[in-house]
Chain A
Amino acid sequence: MHKSRHLADDSIQDSQPPLLLAESQNANVKDIPKIHAWDEDTLLEIGQQSLGLYLGAFQHWEASEDEYLPEYIITKELPNTIWHDYGTFVFAPPGGGKTALRIYTIMNCWQRLGSAHPFPIQLLPSPQLYTNAEDQESILVQFLFRSALQCLAVGIVSGPDRFLRLEQESQSTLVHWLSKYLHGRFLRIIDMLRAGVPSWDIARMIDPSYVTGMPAVEYELQVQLAAIFESLCPEDDSNFTEHADIVSKQNFIYLVDLLLNQLGFGSIYMLIDGVDNELYGVEHPTEIKIWINQILSLLQEVPSERIYLKAYLPDELRPLLEDVRINTHKDTMRMITLEWTSSLLVEILRKRILFAADGLFDSFDSVAGPSCENIEETLLEDICLLPRETLVVARQLIIEYARRTGTNGGAIEMCDVNAARELYFQRFPT
Chain B
Amino acid sequence: MAAHGSNSPIIDAFEYLYAEPEEEWLHRAFVEPSEYGRIASTRSMLVLGPHGSGKSALCHFLLRSMKAPSDKRLAVLFQPRQPAEHQSQHENARNYLTQIVDLTLRELLIYIGTNPDAFSQLPSWLHDTLYWLLQSHMQGHPVAVADRLQDQLQDDGAKLVRKILEKAPKYSLYKNPSETEIVREIAEVRKYLGLDSIWLFVDGFERWLDIDQTLLAEALQALLSILSLFEIPGFAIKLLAPSEIESTLMTSSGILRRRLDVARLSWTDDALIKIVEKRLALLTGMSTCSLRKVAEDDRLVELLREYGGDTPRGWLDVGRPFIDYYIRKNHQQLLNGSQFEEIIKQNPPRLRIDGQFDEVYLGYKKLERVPPGPFRVLQYMLKNHHRFCGRSELYYCALNDNPKEPQQGDQEYVDPGSWKSGFDNVIYHLRKSIEPDPRNPTYILSERGKGLRVKYVL
Contacts and interface: CB of A to CB of B under 8 A. Distances in A.
Interface of A: 22-23, 25-26, 29-33, 35-41, 43, 61-62, 65, 94-95, 126-127, 183-185, 187-188, 191-192, 194-195, 197, 204-205, 208, 276-280, 388-389, 392, 427-428
A392 B67 CA distance: 30
Given A188-B125, A279-B226, 6 more contacts: A22-B71, A32-B67, A40-B37, A62-B233, A184-B173, A279-B93
Contact of B68 (A32, A126, A194): A32
A39 B178 contact: no
Contacts of A183: 171-175
Given A35-B40, A184-B128, A278 B123 contact: no
B124 A191 contact: yes
B253 interface: yes
A94 B254 CA distance: 10
B141 interface: no
B65 A184 contact: no
Contacts of A392: 258
Contacts of A23: 68
Interface of B: 6, 27, 30, 32, 36-38, 40-43, 61, 64-65, 67-71, 93, 123-125, 128-129, 132, 169-175, 178-180, 184, 188, 224-226, 228-229, 232-233, 252-254, 256-259, 261-263
Q: Which of A29, A32, A276, A278 has the most chain B CB atoms closer than 10 A to its own CB? A: A278
A181 B252 CA distance: 33
B169 A184 contact: yes
A178 B232 CA distance: 26
B6 A30 contact: yes
B228 A277 contact: yes
A32 B258 contact: no
A37 B257 contact: no
Contact of B178 (A40, A127, A205, A428): A127
State the 7 A-B residue pairs at the shortest beta-carbon distance, nearest first: A184-B171, A191-B125, A184-B173, A40-B41, A33-B27, A278-B228, A37-B37
A185 B173 contact: yes
A184 B184 contact: no
Contacts of A188: 125, 128-129, 171, 173
A422 to B, nearest CB: 14
Contacts of A197: 123, 125
B233 A184 contact: no
B179 A279 contact: yes
Contact of A33 (B64, B258, B262): B64
B124 A33 contact: no
Given A62-B232, A195-B125, A26 B70 contact: yes
Nearest to A202: B125
A187 B125 CA distance: 9
Per DSSP, chain A at the interface is loop
Contact of B170 (A126, A187, A280): A187
A39 B170 contact: no
Contact of B70 (A22, A41, A205): A22
B388 to A, nearest CB: 50
A247 B128 CA distance: 28
Contact of B61 (A33, A62, A192): A33
A208 B180 CA distance: 11
Contacts of A126: 178
Contact of B233 (A65, A127, A194): A65
A26 B40 contact: no
A423 B443 CA distance: 43
Nearest to A126: B178
B232 A22 contact: no
B162 to A, nearest CB: 24
A392 B40 CA distance: 17
A94 B256 contact: yes
Contacts of B93: 279
A185 B69 contact: no
A127 B252 CA distance: 19
A195 B261 CA distance: 39
8 contacts: A26-B69, A31-B27, A32-B68, A38-B37, A62-B233, A65-B233, A184-B171, A185-B174
B281 to A, nearest CB: 15
A37 B40 contact: yes
A41 B41 contact: yes
A285 to B, nearest CB: 15
B138 to A, nearest CB: 18
Nearest to B177: A183
A22 B68 contact: yes
A291 B123 CA distance: 41
B310 to A, nearest CB: 17
B27 A40 contact: no
Nearest to B33: A37
A24 to B, nearest CB: 10
Nearest to A276: B253
B252 A278 contact: yes
Contacts of A35: 32, 40, 65
B25 to A, nearest CB: 9
A183 B170 CA distance: 12
Nearest to B253: A278
A194 B256 CA distance: 43
B261 A427 contact: yes
Contacts of A192: 125
A39 B41 contact: yes
Given A43-B37, A195-B123, A29 B68 contact: yes
Contacts of B229: 279
Given A31-B27, A33-B30, A277-B228, A39 B125 contact: no
Contact of B64 (A32, A36, A185, A205): A32
Contact of A39 (B6, B30, B37, B70): B37
Which of A95, A184, A276, A277 has the most chain B CB atoms closer than 10 A to its own CB? A184
Contacts of B42: 39, 41
A184 B135 CA distance: 14
A43 B37 CA distance: 9
A428 B260 CA distance: 12
A183 to B, nearest CB: 5
Contacts of A39: 37-38, 40-42
Contacts of B257: 94-95, 388
